Structure formats: C-alpha cells, structure tokens
Amino acid sequence: VVVVMVRTSTTTAGRSTSQGSTRVQPPARAVERRVRCARTVRAAGGVSGGEGKDFMKRAFERARGMLENVGERTGVATSGMKCDIDAPTWGELERMLSELPQEPVDDEVSDASASERLFGSTSIPRVKLYRDSASWCPYSQKIWMQLEEKRIPYVKEKINMRCYGLKPESFMKIAPSGALPVIELDGQVISESSVIARVIEDEFPEHKPLLPYAPGSAEGERARYLMQMERALFGRWMQWITSSWSDGSGYSAYSEVLDSVDAELGSGGGPYFMGSDFTMVDI
C-alpha cells in the first residue's frame, strides 16, 4: 500500500463592526485539510529484488499523479514530492538474516527467540505455547516466564497481535477469539493467562512450585489478593493513558494503586512480594 499525505493549513481573519468602526479580530483557528491519496497495488506472482523497487516506484508515481489531480481541484500544492526508495527488499533482509552467525543454544540461558526449550529433556514436550510475535504482550510474557522459571520443556509458536496483521487460520481454528496467550497441553487447548498459570502449576508439581500455598491459607489469600491488585494496576494504567491529559483524575487513580503496590512490596519481609521466594505474584 502506497500512501501519500499532504497536510496544509489556511488562515482566515474575521471582521466585525463595533460603534461604526471596523475592527480586525485575531485570526480564526487554522483550518487543517488533509488530502490522502492511497493506491493498493499488487503484482501477480509477487515481486522481489530490483523488480520490487521498480514496482514501488511505479506505484508511487501513480499515487503522485492521483494526488496532483486532487491538488488541481482543491488548490493544494503538491510540488516537491520525491520518490527515494533505497530500503532493502524482504528477500534481501532474509538473506542478510541467514548470514548472521548463529550462537550455540544454552539451556541455562533464557532465549525469547527460541522456538523450542527442552532443558536437557529427551522427551517430546507436553506444552506448546502460542505467544505474540513482538514479545511485548505482558500476559504472554507471564506464561513464558513461568515455563522458563519452572524449566518445563515446551515448543513455541509466535502469532501476530492484531495490530501487526492477520492471525494464521491454523491458530484461529483452535482459538477462535484470537486472544493470546494460548497453550496446548497434551493436545488440549487452554486460554486466559490466569487459567493457564494455574493449570501449569497443577500439572507440573515436580517442577519448581511458584504458588506453593494451601487453598485458604493466609499465604494463599495474600497471593490471591496481590494477583488481583495486578489487574487493578493494569486497569488504572490503561485508564490514565487513554484519558485526556488535562484530566488529572486518571493519573491520581493510577498513583494510588502504585502506592498500594509499593506498600505491599515493602511489607513482604523480603525482596519479593511473598518474602524470600520468587513466585507467580512477582511475574
């Protein structure tokens, strides 16, 4: 998709008459006009290398012609536009990536790019993790860190977040909502990070426990409370960043939860929320 945008502004001055004299008022707010000209272009069979660059240049020239046509009808200046496409093609990027030296796999070091983590096991992993391809989804990150901390063998497949493109049909068939993360445990599909985390703890008790508290115990209730606080923190943060910057209530509400989180961390009796042990609460 080639998109060309020209942004222009015009200023108007209003006049009013007061007591028989003409007074020029301050200029009115500038009127912004955005002219968008987009053209979707396709090449039968695809393009690569120099052909790809030539194809993009032709598409740009076509888009520029359309924009100039719009400019003639609207009075928007379109001069000075240039086409300078020197970025490498996808094929060139793939070749450059293949030429990079490959580092040896170390089971003792976490590797977010690894598609398989065996931790010395020779068995077929029971767990398959579907997580976001950009590795910034916090709930996908939580499950990945849980598997790494417990050293549970798993394979991984990266799936686009919707903002990065379509999800593969193979994934949508097993998870129609498209939400991440998702795991397959012995072929059973499980979604929702809090549910996944609990299932992993229950199914792999021989691996390092990250919620080693009896249901109903004081420690278990504290862990449950703190994990609920994490959701509240996320909600207040989202409310703050999506609210108007002139409205201080969002920031105040977020700060209140941050203060509560800080107080709970300080009262844990150790470097972690639950004291001396690293648990799911910290993840």
At 280 the pLDDT is 94
- The secondary element (H helix, E strand) that includes residue 188 is strand 188-191
CA distances in angstroms from 267 to 152, 170, 222, 275, listed in the order given: 31, 47, 11, 8
* Cβ atoms of residues 114 and 122 within 8 Å: no
Quick: pLDDT tens for 14-41: 333 334 433 333 333 333 333 333 333 3
Closest CA to 229 of 200, 250, 193, 259: 259
Within 10 Å of residue 64's Cβ, how many Cβ atoms? 19
SS3 23: strand
Quick: pLDDT tens for 87-118: 778 888 888 888 887 766 666 788 888 899 99
Place of tokens 């580092």: 103
pTM for the structure as a whole: 0.63
Within 10 Å of residue 182's Cβ, how many Cβ atoms? 24
